[in-house]
Amino acid sequence: MDAFRAAVESGDHDAIERLLDDDVVFVSPVVYKPYHGKEITTAILRAVTQVFEDFTYVRELGDESGHALVFTAKVGGRELTGCDFLRYNAEGKIEELMVMVRPLSGANALQQAMAVRLGMDSAPGVAARG
């Protein structure tokens, strides 16, 4: 089992943070521009664990360079399926974490819930709708 998966499933935020490279790139499913750095990535991951309901990894694919972790979850009653794509550097730290989710209604619910959780009008990097 991937160490990131084990940390997420056990709710060990400190372990998740230790797995991230200082210059990790986080590619959000709802924001065009990637986030750079451990601090913002850790904050986003902590927030999303409070937004997701019934989060479960259902499949894992990978090798020494990375993993794809398929998951199911609910956000505000909307079911979604997603995938965490992890790429590792030579030291075994996560250098890129790209998340994709579907369907669009689930992605929209995720964006709105994250904006509320992070105390913003919209998710970071997403223009607020008027």
The CA distances from residue 92 to 8, 65, 72, 77, 89, in Å, are 17, 8, 26, 36, 5
Q: What is the pLDDT of residues 49-106, one digit of tens each?
A: 999 999 999 999 998 889 999 999 999 999 999 999 999 999 999 999 999 999 999 9
Residue 58 lies inside a defined structural domain of this protein: yes
Total structural domains in the chain? 1
Domain span at residue 36 reads 3-117
Q: How far is CA 107 from the centre of its chain?
A: 12
In a domain? residue 127? no
CA end-to-end span of the chain, whole Å?
Answer: 44
- The answer to whether residue 130 is domain-embedded is no
Q: Does 70 map to a domain?
A: yes
What the block records as the tokens of 28 is 């959000």
Q: What is the pLDDT of residues 16-38, one digit of tens each?
A: 999 999 999 999 999 899 999 99
pTM, two decimals, is: 0.87
123 found inside a domain:
no
Indicate whether 80 belongs to any domain: yes
Q: ∠ CA(23), CA(28), CA(32), 5° rounding? A: 100
Residue 91 CA to residue 73 CA, distance in Å, equals 31
Q: Is residue 53 part of a domain?
A: yes
CATH number of the domain bearing residue 87: 3.10.450.50
Q: Is residue 124 part of a domain?
A: no
Judge whether residue 130 has pLDDT over 80. Answer: no
